[in-house]
Amino acid sequence: MPKNSPFTDAILSWYDRNGRHDLPWQHPASPYDVWLSETMLQQTQVATVIDYFQRFKSKFPDIPSLAQASLDEVMQLWAGLGYYRRAKHLHEAAKIMAKKHSGRVPSSLEDLMALPGIGQSTAGAILSIAYQKPCAILDGNVKRVLCRHYGIRGWPDSTLTLKQLWPLAESLTPNKDCHRYAQAIMDFGAVLCTRNKPNCQACPIQKSCYAFLQQCIEQLPEKKPRAKVPEKTLHFWILQRDNGDIFLTQRPPLGIWASLWAFPEGEPPMSNLAEYHKQTLSPFLHLLTHFRLTIKATLVHIGKQNLAEIKLAGTWCAPHTVGKTLGVPKPITKLITQL
């Protein structure tokens, strides 16, 4: 069996001494738990994920229960975690696993990567951690560590840089202990070789680290070439009855906040709007990865009418129940607190 590289051995022994060994998805690291946690951990910190993971697991303990749930139930548990396409993909993938893979997470790279929301790195994590098959992973934390330690230039998500990173990640993955190494290298990036102020003084691979030796830690990994973030304005119509109830409608399955519940947006939801008393709320900014949104809203006092005029399908609910029963995006929660 080929020997581990000194880098791999150093990361493994660092993990034994300093890694996180008590996360709720580690004992046992079942394929479902690893898949769920890896999906939640994309773009999200461990501390935030723990609660969401536990709530999700108690409602959907396995793939069949997740596959049978409605998208609304899934979205409701996901609300606040952001990047909602992850939840949609999770739900779609669970349905496929229930149908095609006897309700199990598949154990081949090909089958995993054919599922919605599972890229090569998540597939690698599932195979290494849950099935103990040596497969490389390359999440954001791992990319940062490798770019710094091996002095790899270029934005890590560019095709050219990935062509260097994947073979490197593969060459560092041990045959034995691949499950420990997968967790170790992700943890190392998350805890020690952090984006800002990495703890180089405590780093076991400092002596061989290109970025440390060349004093260019802040320049690696290189940033994405800047593209201007598009700006967009969303205008919401908050219809409110005398008893305080508000009207929510489900957003389309594609686009911003897909399938979550929100106030009607864009065109006025009724033709006889002029008949009602209206109030403009203070606009505010909301930043998404791909958009800079200005949120505007008009509160429409509806009175007691039964509102046959509303053009959209939707539901009336008391403001304090929103979020408990329906998944809503953050700006909607913020607007509700303004009421």
**Among the residue ranges 45-53, 76-84, 176-184, 201-209, the one whose residues contact ligand SF4 (CB under 6 A):** 201-209
Measured from the Cβ of residue 150, the count of other Cβ atoms closer than 10 Å reads 17
Size of the site for ligand SF4 (CB under 6 A): 14
Residues 6+ apart with CB under 8 A from 119: 113
**Among the residue ranges 34-42, 101-109, 202-210, 298-306, the one whose residues contact ligand SF4 (CB under 6 A):** 202-210
Candidate residues 200, 293, 307, 317; the one interacting with ligand SF4 per rule CB under 6 A:
200
Q: What is the DSSP track for 248-308? A: EEEPPSSSTTTT-EE--BSS-S-TTGGGSEEEEEEEEEEE-SS-EEEEEEEEEEEET---T
Inter-residue contact 113 to 120 (CB < 8 Å): yes
Nearer to ligand SF4, 143 or 148 (CB): 148
CB of 197 to ligand SF4, least distance (A): 10
Catalytic residue among 38, 231, 275, 309: 38
Candidate residues 69, 186, 211, 248; the one interacting with ligand SF4 per rule CB under 6 A:
211
Residue 278, beta-bridge partner list: 300
Inter-residue contact 195 to 257 (CB < 8 Å): no
Nearer to ligand SF4, 200 or 273 (CB): 200
> Is 38 tagged catalytic?
yes
Say if strands 292-303 and 231-241 run parallel, antiparallel, or are unpaired. Answer: parallel
CB of 165 to ligand SF4, least distance (A): 15
Candidate residues 97, 205, 234, 246; the one interacting with ligand SF4 per rule CB under 6 A:
205
Candidate residues 87, 193, 295, 328; the one interacting with ligand SF4 per rule CB under 6 A:
193
- Is 217 one of the binding residues for ligand SF4 (CB under 6 A)? yes
Give residue 136's Cα distance to chain centre.
20
Segment 136-175, which members bind ligand SF4 (CB under 6 A)? Answer: 145, 148-149
Candidate residues 105, 192, 295, 300; the one interacting with ligand SF4 per rule CB under 6 A:
192
What does the per-residue mask of binding to ligand SF4 show for 71-110, with x meaning CB under 6 A? ----------------------------------------
Helix or strand or coil: residue 237?
Answer: strand
Secondary structure, 3-state, 71-102: HHHHHHHHCCCCCCHHHHHHHHHHHHHHHHCC
Helices (H), 61-199: 63-68, 71-78, 85-100, 109-113, 120-125, 140-150, 159-172, 178-187
**Contact residues for ligand SF4 (CB under 6 A)?**
145, 148-149, 192-193, 198, 200, 203, 205-206, 209, 211-212, 217
Positions marked catalytic: 38
